[in-house]
Amino acid sequence: MKYTEFGNTGEKVSVIGTGTMRIARMTDDEAMTFVTTAIDSGINFFDHADIYGGGESERVFGRLFRKDPSLRAKMFLQSKCAIHDGMFDFSKDYILHAVDGILDRLNTDHIDSLLLHRPDALMEPEEVNEAFTELHNAGKVRYFGVSNMNAMQMKLLQNALDYELCADQLQMSLAHTPMFDAGFNVNMTDAPAVMRDGGTLEYCRLKGMTVQTWSPLQVGYFQGVFLNDERYPDLNAKLDELAEKYGTGKDTIAYAWLLRYPAKMQVITGTSSPERIRSAAAAADIRLTRKEWYDLYKSAGNRLP
């Protein structure tokens, strides 16, 4: 396993992080296998959100911590809040309330990182700073970040914060590349030239923020995985070719493609399968060549100008 710095904190986190969205219905034994497989594979980063399974994913971990308190010290534990009742909410009262719920469900006195889950158009940055300050001073949250925010939204928020934003969690996969597309098609009039994010990747690199990728195998917004999908014959052929070259699976190559981008990259897996967790962990040891990276990008149906 390889590790990257979490923002500018000096804290090292595994470049593969384990997502917990699909574990809400696991038995305690299944969950323990899920966790220990990740830890044994060198993964120390576990990503939650208060909405995953309606809070049940966090409760699963809370039960594990009761059974084996030593597990908590082996983890960098992250959760997210802001989505509730059909809206996004960055109000101070809600953030404080949400974190108390997170800690109660996880059965821990602190989380290592809190992300604001989706941008709130009614955000008042100074109020967010008040919430972060209370949480940090109380020892409930060590570091802060965001999810699904563009560069200008982060700049606006950061301007009022006493704490550096450490991470931005963004959708990215071989079949979802708008942040790359716009960079290749600058000053052109075709659809890929439309910049939908305002230079988010570049902003994260300038600020030393960790880029966390969610849905790393998905097509679009939960339209299924691209592996073995007949809509992506050329991509799957190229993945097969590189999987054979590197002696690994196609999913591992897809994760390695994301890790090849020269930022503080962290892939957040969505799998609950121990076998798939081990396959993801193997991506940390693969560095694709520049040509392989571009060949995969083009095989997914993208073109270079």
Per-residue b or e along 108-146, where b marks 16 or more CB atoms closer than 10 Å to that residue's CB: bebbbbbbbbbbbeebeeeebbbbbeebbeeebbbbbbb
Which of 204, 170, 177 has its CA nearest to residue 304? 177
- Catalytic residue annotation: 52
Instruction: Output phi, psi for 118, to 5 deg.
Output: -145, 145
**Do 182 and 232 touch, CB atoms closer than 8 A?**
no
SS3 of 76-90: the string is EEEEEECEECCEECC
**Do 226 and 253 touch, CB atoms closer than 8 A?**
no
Chain centroid to Cα 240, Å, comes to 25
Q: How far apart are CA 152 and CA 219, in angstroms?
A: 26
**Do 301 and 191 touch, CB atoms closer than 8 A?**
no
Which of 152, 167, 73 has its CA nearest to residue 117? 167
